Structure 1
Amino acid sequence: MKTVFKILIIITLTLFFSCKENKSNFVDNNENSNEILKDSFPTIINENKIEVECKCAENKFTGTKSDTIYNLSNGKSIALCGYRNTENKPVNFSEFVLSVCGQNEVIEFWNATETCNLKVNKDTLYVEELINLPTEKNRKYITTVWNINKIYFENEDVKKTNSLNKKIRKYSKEEILTTLKEYENADQELNEDKMVLVNRLFISIISKNNKAREYFYEFGDKYKLDGAFSEEYSDLKAMLKLWENQK
């Protein structure tokens, strides 16, 4: 009887420890399985995030598909829609609008006769209007920044300022004297050379020469201007008025 009882105790203890070991193995296997599953799938962040397309507001000048987006340091973005002058280096733009991403209004429109460089400096977008002027060495023509538009934000409001580039290279005394002599010795034939000359007189005026001013306004009486020549001369007079009005 005692022998049978001992056998029963041994069997019971064996079954108990066997079940405990199996339970431990089951837990370990489950933990390993969880690690494998965890490492088998990438972490998904912002899976429901939707990218909003930045385009220009509806307008009568251009389409709404953006060519370039300018990101400011304050988190604002401004879209440009219009014509890219790929033949120019660096590339610049004409006949375009600017529009704040997510807004329904156009900031401004630049027409087909205007050529502009655009660049960002921190929280401000600069639109530089370019023209050809004889300000290079030896009074040759070079693409010159004439006018600078600054676009920035105060709180949520778009602000704009406009100023002429007063850093345009001025003529030396020798260059001014050469220009005055060219005018004094010029014949009565109107041609491209005469239009170069009146542009040089314009630069001589902004270089603060009064004789050049006299010759510049006399030019319109001395030569019978029409067509493109007349338009160019009118543009120069308008530019001179702007220059003198901006202190």
Structure 2
Amino acid sequence: MKSNRIIGSVTAAVFVAAGSAGCSATAVTQKAGESAQNLVAALSRASDEASKAGSADISMTLTTPDTGGKPMQMKGLYSWGNGLAMETEMPAKDLQMEDMVADGTITMRLVQGAYYYEVDPAPDGPFQGKTWLKVEASAVMGEKGAASMNGANADPTSGLKGLKYAKDVTKVATENVNGKSTVHYRASVPADRLGAASDMYKGLGMTGEVVTDVWVDDKGTPARMNQVIGTSTISVDFLSFGSQRSIDVPPAADTADVTERFKQQAQGGSA
């Protein structure tokens, strides 16, 4: 279980949680032939529609230095109705955990401020019989950064409401996304001007300009969101909104807390 890969999976949730909070900095610039007010209104409506849904089935791809520059893929449920929560599946090789599952797939949950990774029960050793490994999110991004993942920041599109402060907001084109006709918008902002979301990025050592692309479908909801900050990129497809599935904390009896081992690995010590 490599710490940099776990950081990568945590980073994915941070990006989605920060959502288009990257659209909250200086001043809207009007592209020729477009109304800045109309662009802001369209994206604000998209945020409102997503917020009301409370959850979404998503597919995302993340690439950061923590993933070795290789794409990390996840697919599952993202929920923000009662605080931030996720349940996704990803290839075990993306986390370098192939030896911990027989079927090659890791189920990851983010719930109540901690990450849980489902594994096959170990036959012996300190994790004997345990089927979930737990890592506190604060171990990766600090207490302040982890706290910023909840509340208003849990909604993946909450930042769209702040577009009146964004710079370089433009309507790019009409494009097809997963069989849907969408309007593609783009905005950018310095990462240190994102309010509470800044803590998430700072906790992961990310600085610079955040460029956010959002594709809005004919129902007024986001179909895709892409963010780039430095050498890190994440693309999220919103496959459907409003799932009623719950994301629960795994049973304590089945869980091994590996937060301290993770911290040792992250600091270059033994694990």
TM range (shorter): under 0.3
Which structure has greater helix proportion?
Answer: 1
Which of the pair has the greater relative contact order for Cα pairs under 8 Å at 6+ separation? Answer: 2
TM-score under structure 2 length normalisation = 0.21
* Largest Rg, 1 or 2: 1
